[in-house]
Chain A
Amino acid sequence: MHSSSQTLNGSEIFFECLRRENVEYIFGYPGGSLLKVYETLYDVKDIKHILVRHEQGATHMAEGYARATGKPGVVLVTSGPGATNTVTGIANAYMDSSPMVVFTGQVPSSLIGNDAFQEADIVGITRSITKHNFLVKDVKELAITIRKAFFLATNGRPGPVLIDMPKDILNASGAFHWPETVEIRGFKPTITCHINQVEKAAHKIAKAKRPLLYVGGGVISAEASEELRAFAIQQNIPVTMTLQGLGAFPGNHPLSMGMLGMHGTYWSNQAVNACDVLIAVGARFDDRVTGKIETFAPDAYIIHNDIDPTNVDKNIMVDLPIVGDAKDFLATLLKETPKMVENRDSWLADIQSWREQCPLTYNKEDGALRTEFVIDEVSRQTEGNAVVVTDVGQHQMWTSQYYTFRNPRSIITSGGLGTMGFGLPAAIGAAFGISDRPVVLFCGDGGIMMNIQELVTAVHYKTPIKIFLINNSFLGMVRQWQELFHKEKYSFTDLAESNPDFVKVAEAFNCKALLAETPESAKAAIKEALAYNEGPVLVDFRVMKKDMVFPMVPAGGSITEMLLARLNPKTMV
């Protein structure tokens, strides 16, 4: 490590700063404006650079790493196309509040604005999808800018921050000075919740007959799962989770209700409808959760804790807003709420009866291989302890239903943006951060093609991810909507004719590959894949082509009006 106040060039300052931010991995791809950085990198041994095959892959890897570890993911790409290729990944991290710092090379300062070779106004382009972004105009500003970027990415509501570094800045010499503290006058997130508000919440909860906890990804990023568990158990309050919140509360605990919303469990949605106090923690009342706003939690006094004040009263007007960190909120609530004033047995019995009325179920009789079976089996074989990464679509919703998440930081999925192609690179990134649990990817045959090039990255670094390819030869979720709402016009969703042989594709990438076409062979393939740790392994599960995800709330409908099965799609409950 270089000492402070030494004269270094911009590239050396860059690595010096990353060292001080304890960066382990950079996900990157070299290019013209970054030549100096890669020259310096050649001799850097303590920070590992992972060479991706497309810059979008780098961003999703960084996010996978960030979500698995809680540490910010770092991306390094060149100017122009390198930078614009990161846009989807940055937008994804922004929507799902993942800490990430993206470094882009830029053309020399003197050429900015001249339509120079490989120039793009990436600061302008990413303004609305970053928490903040910077263009470094002087090598003297580089260290403080990097310090601020990491600070912004990881404090308050986490999110992506971008730093654009012109080529001349990376070549220029300057005195290296590492600021020990950082002060940004426009950025002062509220961490500690207002005690009077929390007391008010405690008072309401203590008297509630039918309370319900609705928790989101904020509980996971705040590392507040312990507090959540203690509070829910002490108060005997059932817990329903958003897609990003899964794992915040152990899925195998009797108080866990699984996910709510569009493809949530029937009993979760009924409970939202019937509860008298709804305690939302680190969740943002997304439209996939609420369905029709007017009929969401109609009888509930709504308490909403979130670290981002803009999430409060945005989609749903709440009765008691509490801005602050979820960990602080739940810890204080645990202290302030009197123990078990109300008996909640009849409330829990109601929930149990809804559970029995419409359990999650699928056809196990006809011997066909189904996604639900695959996920169920992976959940069983990994005992709910894997880090599960998904892509976007039907398999993602089935994962939420059939994988029993026991720990926080166990589901890594593109929730807000719904980015197909997220899964494979995100799984690779997660595997760099996690070594004591298996990293499992569920991905569709549509989504895997959107970033298939990253299979090279996984093979090259011997990343032991389990790629469970849910291959139904369809863009299944779109197909499902076409069947239900678009006159069965399967417009451009049938991939059967055009899909490659994925086993051969994997083998061409030097990746171990297996094929499973029956429940028995699937079981065996999962076992074999989980036992293989020499590198990535892909299992091509040929599942039923036309299965649909149920239950389902049609878009814009009330969350209690769920389609429960295909046989009679008009069945409203």
Chain B
Amino acid sequence: MKHIISVLVENKFGTLNRVATMFSARGFNLASISIGETEDPEISRMTIVTFADDQIINQVIKQLNRLVDTIKVTDLTKQPHVERELLLMTLKLSKTQQHEIFELINVFKGKVVDIKQKSITIEVIGSPDKINTTIDIFKPYGIKELARSGAVAIHRGE
């Protein structure tokens, strides 16, 4: 089962490496990991997406907690939360398909961030599911390059 884990960590060099090393050393799955500073510059928030059964996920959470640079670990999976991912994607642009591509960008509420004679770069924000669908739909038009940010997630406010 998919789990989204939010981890507050000390904003120090090597912290990301400690977490990644722990995942690989323990043989845990690591689907995506993203990290950025929080409102407190001494603390970063990491969002980890992993696939694991209940026993393993308990170990994952405990092992994360065991790292000295970890301040707080929350499994957001079963709590109200918002999850978003950013997709940047460059597509081939041909006169004949131009119209269809622009329509699809609208459907996915995407934005054009760069356009050239033969290519167009777009951004799409959404849940990882939506990003997967976006990629599937655009594939036939010719994806030249793409980059995904990995998911970030946060509790829904009260």
- The residues of A with any CB-CB pair to B shorter than 8 Å are 123-124, 127-128, 131-132, 135, 152, 184-187, 308-310, 312-314, 317
Contact = CB atoms under 8 A, between A and B. Distances in A.
Contacts of B65: 309
B69 A186 contact: yes
B67 interface: yes
A124 B62 CA distance: 22
B62 A310 contact: yes
23 contacts: A123-B14, A124-B14, A127-B18, A128-B21, A131-B68, A132-B67, A132-B68, A132-B69, A135-B14, A184-B68, A185-B71, A186-B9, A186-B69, A186-B71, A187-B68, A308-B66, A309-B66, A310-B59, A310-B62, A310-B66, A312-B62, A313-B55, A313-B59
Given A132-B68, A186-B67, A186-B71, A127 B59 contact: no
Of B9, B17, B68, B70, most buried by chain A (CB within 10 Å of CB) is B68
Interface in B51-68: 55, 58-59, 62-63, 65-68
Interface string B64-85: 0111111100000000000000
A312 B68 CA distance: 19
A489 to B, nearest CB: 31
Interface of B: 9-10, 13-14, 17-18, 21-22, 25, 55, 58-59, 62-63, 65-71
What secondary structure prevails in chain B residues at the interface with A?
Answer: helix
A308 B59 CA distance: 12
A527 B59 CA distance: 51
A313 B63 CA distance: 12
B17 A152 contact: no
B22 A128 contact: yes
Given A127-B14, A127-B21, A314 B59 contact: yes
Contacts of B14: 123-124, 127, 135
Contacts of A309: 62, 65-66
Nearest to B25: A128
A309 B66 CA distance: 8
A186 B10 CA distance: 8
Contact of B17 (A127, A184, A312): A127
A276 to B, nearest CB: 24
Contact of A152 (B25, B59, B68): B68
